[in-house]
Each structure stands twice: as structure tokens, then as C-alpha cells.
Amino acid sequence: MIKSFIYFIKLIFLQKHLIISMAKREVVTKYVGSLLGFIWTFINPIVMIFVFWVVFSVGFRVQPTNDVPFVVWLTAGMASWFVFSDMVNGSANIIVVNAHLIKKTQFHSQILPVVIIVSCLITHMVFLIVLIGLIWFQNMPCSLYYFQFFYYLLCMCVLALGFGWIVSALNVFIRDVGQIVGVVLQIGFWATPIFWDINIMPQKVQTILKLNPMFYIVQGYRESFIYFNPFWNHPYQTLYFWVLAIIIFVVGALTFKKLKPQFADVL
């Protein structure tokens, strides 16, 4: 049981070349045939951040949060949520979309959510480059703390892979899961302090909000890019996050492993 579980995870590493080339293909597929191609990956976040800047800094004149321009503060938080949401949302359909591979070739389908995660990371890097450009444009200080985001990114990938396995496997049998995921992510976006500061809430509510594992990540991104606060300053939150993330990861892997033999029967 444990041995087969380890093999299930190990296959991800054994198939890293395949995962990388499939992830590249996943990214290229989005732009294949278009004139500007990969440049679109840059255009989308730039336009979005520009719109936010016009609306919130120029239009509404939102006061800087803790001396940080609102648009930077917002973008840093949003970057992490967007990639997380893309990962989970993309995983939901990935098995169904690749039905031909599962039914007609010998294929280890557990790598498919990993492929989604890797492909999302490629576009995420572009988003972060735009974010760092924005930070410099605002003449904000830079620091080695930037690299701390890799830690939070890892946290998020573990969490997203756990969720990805659960939703991708369930969606094969119950196609509504894909829709439910979309709705839950919408709610999650507003329930996580991305557009608003958690400090506006009463202390009690804050405690509840912090149970959301994505809060840890969103906060972490801001601390890496803006506040330069190391993660070991939140030992309890870190412990809570990892316990939760590992549970979700293991539950996801076990769910996927249990349902996988039946994929070809249903697709």
C-alpha cells in the first residue's frame, strides 16, 4: 500500500521530461496559430495591472495601504491567487480533455495535474516579472526577500496538486465538479484578503479567515515582495498550513489512485 503510494509519487519524477514537454505544449496550444504568440502571455497581465492602476490609483484615488501603493499591494496578492485558481481550474478538466491518451495509450494519468501546474508556472513567472517591473516603476525598495516567494510557490504547488488530483479525478465521474470548482474559486477570491486588508476585520473574524490556507500564501507573497518579512515569523501559521496541505495532498493522491483504474471505463 505504502509502496505503491510512493511509486505513484515517484512516477512524477521519473516522467519529468514528459511533464515538461507536455507543459510547454499546454502553453503553446493557447497561442498556436496566433500572430503574437507567446507575447500574449505578457500582454494580458500588463493590461490588467494597467487597468487596476488607472481605476484605483488614478480614478478612485485609493489611499496607499500601509504606505504601499494600492495597485502594487493588490497585484502582489492577486498574482498568487490567479495562479492557484488557474492550477485548480485547469486540473478539473485535464483528464477529460486527454481522454484519448488515457483510453488509447499506456499513460500515467497522475502526471496530468502536474502538467497543468508546471504550465501555469510558466505564465506565472511572466506575471511576476510584470509585478517586479511595477514595483521598480513605483520606486519601491528591492531586497533578497524577493526569493522567499519560491518557498510560498512551493507551498502553493503542494496544495494545488492535492486539490488538482481530487477535482480532476472526481470530474471524470461527475462532470459538475468542474462547474463547482469555478464557483468555489470565485467565492474563494473574495473570501481571501486579496482586494481588502484583513486588518479591517474584527480580531475574531480574522482568526477564522486565517484558517483559509490561501491566506498564508497571499500574505506570504506580499511579505516577500513588499514587507520583507520572513515566513518563520509565523510559526503557528506555517505549521497549520503544512499539516493541512499535506493532508490535502495525501487525500488527493489517494483519491486519484483509487479512481484511476476506472477512468478508461468511463471516459
Partner 1 sequence: MVDDIVINLKEITKTYRLYNSHADRVKETFHPLRKKYHHSFNALTDVSFNLKRGETVGIIGRNGSGKSTLLQIICGILQPTSGRVEIDGRISALLELGAGFNPEFTGRQNVYMNCAILGLTHEEIKARFDDIVAFAEIGDFIGQPVKTYSSGMYVRLAFAIAINVNPDILVVDEALSVGDTLFQSKCFAKFKEFQEKGITILFVTHAMDLITRYCSSAYLLENGKIHTSGSPKDVVDEYNRLIVNCPERISAETVRPVDEQKEIIRDKQWEGLFRLNPDMNCYGNGKTKLIEAGIFDLDGSALQTLVHGQSYEFRLKVRFNDTIYNPIIAYTIKDVKGFDISGTNTFYQNINTGTLHKDEVLLAIFKHKLLLNPGGYLLSLGCAGYENGEYVVYERKYDYLSFDVISKRQSVGFFDMGSEITISRV
How far CA 135 is from CA of 15, 16, 146, 226, 245, in Å, comes to: 37, 34, 11, 9, 30
Q: Does 262 participate in binding partner 1 (rule CB under 8 A)?
A: yes
**Number of chain positions touching partner 1 (CB under 8 A):** 28
- Closest contact distance (angstroms) between CB of 245 and partner 1 is 23
Site string for partner 1, 178-217 (x = CB under 8 A): ----------------------------------------
**Cβ neighbours around 146 below 10 Å, total:** 14
- The three-state secondary structure class of 67 is coil
Binding span for partner 1 by CB under 8 A among 142-150, 151-159, 166-174, 226-234: 166-174
- Closest contact distance (angstroms) between CB of 100 and partner 1 is 5
| Whole-number Å distance between alpha carbons of 140 and 133 | 10
Site string for partner 1, 62-101 (x = CB under 8 A): --------------------------------------xx
| Whole-number Å distance between alpha carbons of 251 and 1 | 14
| Whole-number Å distance between alpha carbons of 130 and 71 | 12
From the list 63, 106, 139, 203, which residue makes contact with partner 1 (rule: CB under 8 A)?
A: 106
For 50, phi then psi, to 5°, come to -60, -45
Contact 72, 134 (CB under 8 A): yes
8-state DSSP, 34: -
Binding span for partner 1 by CB under 8 A among 36-44, 68-76, 81-89, 171-179: 171-179
**What residues line the site for partner 1 (CB under 8 A)?**
17-18, 21-22, 25, 28-29, 32-33, 100-107, 170, 173-175, 258-259, 261-262, 264-266
